[in-house]
Amino acid sequence: MASQAAEQFSEVDKLRVQLLNNVEDMTDCQPDDEPVSSREILIRIENIILGIVTSVSKGEAPVLALPNRSSWANVSFDSAIGLQMSSGPSVSIIRSDCPSSVTKFAQILKILSVIYRLVQRNSYATKRDIYYNNTQLFGSQTAVDSIVDDISCMLKVPRRSLHVGKGVPDVNSRLMVRKLWDTLHIPIFALVDADPHGIEIMCIYKYGSVAMSFEAHSLTVPSVMWLGLLPSDLQRLWVPEDALIPLTKRDESKLSSLLKRPYLSSQPDWQKEMELMQQTRVKAEIQSLAAIAPDFLTSIYLPNKLRYGGWV
């Protein structure tokens, strides 16, 4: 049994050797992730508040300048790091005297005060906790999620250093995968649903996101490989039609957006799989393999993928 298991993972062992041969070069091109002290974070927040107080004392309307995280023009792509924010990104000005931005100005100050207390007391909260701190002010969880990332970018501090939490995929999971790669240099495979959102989550692990490109070097794992569920697997394995789900308009829009991203040009095999999904206009969850056989995923699909190198 032991020899059979070793044979099944022979392709993974070969891949691990290749990764070990390349790891020194990859490490050389990644910047050090120096932690920012709690005291430094408090000073940066205090400086922002001092700027606001100074403006008020001069009879001027305070403003906040936030790096524009939603613009692809502020992002560059490095195959060894992923998506990273440019050194001089454009900024969005949040004014306290403008009806369209005064609410966001107040939301930012409120969340800055919450973060200041968390760091000062060495305690932690989730973004959900912050939302329920003042639901009337924030209006939605989405507003809190976005502003926490804005503040992280504005302070030039990783979100985990702000003592705040989860996303999709959450930062702690991304840190764990990165730590596994940094420490053990083991192959990292992604097993996700064959749908646009599963693909996007995989891309975030591998390349990062525009919203958090300012800390890509500490979160991304460019060696991630797409093990499954591949759109081509659905045809190759004759997954029953009643286990497939038609793409929604939102799915199609997400897929088109993914195909335009700069890193896809370096992944022609991924591109082919996504184009196949566009053509067939169907998606499937990992659980759809159970329609072939209850234990098909664990007994047949994964062992054969790992044995014969069926990843892209």
Residues classed as catalytic: 132
Cα separation, 84 vs 78, whole angstroms: 7
Torsion angle, alpha carbons of 223, 229, 230, 236, to 10: 140
Per-position b or e across 245-269, b if 16+ CB within 10 A of its CB: eebeeebeebbeebeebebeeebee
- The two structure tokens encoding residue 224: 């991630």
Q: Is there a contact between 187 and 165 (Cβ–Cβ < 8 Å)?
A: no
- The two structure tokens encoding residue 235: 């045809």
As a three-state string, the secondary structure of 30-85 is: CCCCCCCCHHHHHHHHHHHHHHHHHHHHCCCCCEEEEECCCCHHHEEEECCCEEEE
Instruction: For residue 273, give the amino acid letter.
Output: E
- The two structure tokens encoding residue 146: 């976005």
Q: Which helix (H) or strand (E) holds 93?
A: strand 91-95
Mode of pairing for the β-strands spanning 75-78 and 245-246 = unpaired
Cα separation, 241 vs 46, whole angstroms: 59
Sole residue written with tokens 């958090």: 212
Return the DSSP state at 246: E
Cα separation, 214 vs 216, whole angstroms: 6
Residue 44 has phi, psi (to 5 degrees) of -65, -40
